[in-house]
Amino acid sequence: QKEVEQDPGPLSVPEGAIVSLNCTYSNSAFQYFMWYRQYSRKGPELLMYTYSSGNKEDGRFTAQVDKSSKYISLFIRDSQPSDSATYLCAMRPGGGADGLTFGKGTHLIIQP
Amino acid sequence: KAGVTQTPRYLIKTRGQQVTLSCSPISGHRSVSWYQQTPGQGLQFLFEYFSETQRNKGNFPGRFSGRQFSNSRSEMNVSTLELGDSALYLCASSPNAGNQPQHFGDGTRLSIL
């Protein structure tokens, strides 16, 4: 079992829909959770950065962390064709002594 | 504010050669991390440098090494290249070591023939 599981997709939704992206993990030491967006031929771009359980909202994006279930989500409201990209979840334990552990990414397609 | 800059963007090498990749972090950022991205394994952590010292290291062979200079710029070296080293190598910087958001460059695409 990999430490972080993420459905690779592709996930195809119509423009304007609410998108839900998810990751599950097995390491209970993870305390910091991130979502990155990666366009083709570009590096990952940080979207959301959260600590421990709870919700965080930034514009059209909402990140949720449920540590009891070892499950994190990213919601995108009013999705746009420009949101089409690969979305990567990442996490790390507390203490800052480890690099980020990534999911393999979900390929998202927003249909105009 | 300029982002993380990686050079070169593309590189072609042959098996057995060695290669050096360069990373300039965001101005004021002192921590630099390196990652390898492949279709099969995804993004994997290589190592992190802070104040010219390696803080931690991922599960990669000793052929992969790095260093950081006093201006926070970092280099990564891979010796005795193998076909499996073909990958996108990404550098990320953060203001300090510890649990801070990491910001990535666009990577160096390394192809081994």
How does pLDDT run along chain A (112 residues), one tens digit per residue? 679 999 999 999 999 999 999 999 999 999 999 999 999 999 999 999 999 888 999 999 999 999 999 999 999 999 999 999 999 999 999 876 789 999 999 999 999 9
Smallest CA–CA separation between A29 and chain B, in Å?
A: 13
- In whole angstroms, what is the distance from residue B60 CA to residue B62 CA? 7
Residue A48: HSE in the Cβ half-sphere, 13 Å Cα cutoff:
26
The nearest alpha carbon in chain A to B37 belongs to A104
**What per-residue confidence (pLDDT) applies to A1?**
65
**Contact between B101 and A49 using a beta-carbon 8 Å cutoff:** yes
Among A46, A98, A102, the residue with its CB nearest the CB of B43 is A102
- State residue B1's pLDDT score: 67
CA separation for the pair B46, B49 (Å, rounded): 10
Q: What residues in chain B have per-residue pLDDT under 50?
A: none
For B48, the closest of A41, A99, A105 (CB atoms) is: A99
Q: Which residue of B has its CA nearest to A99?
A: B45
What 3-state DSSP class applies to B27? coil
* Residue B51 one-letter amino acid: S
Chain B residues touching A94 at Cβ < 8 A: 99
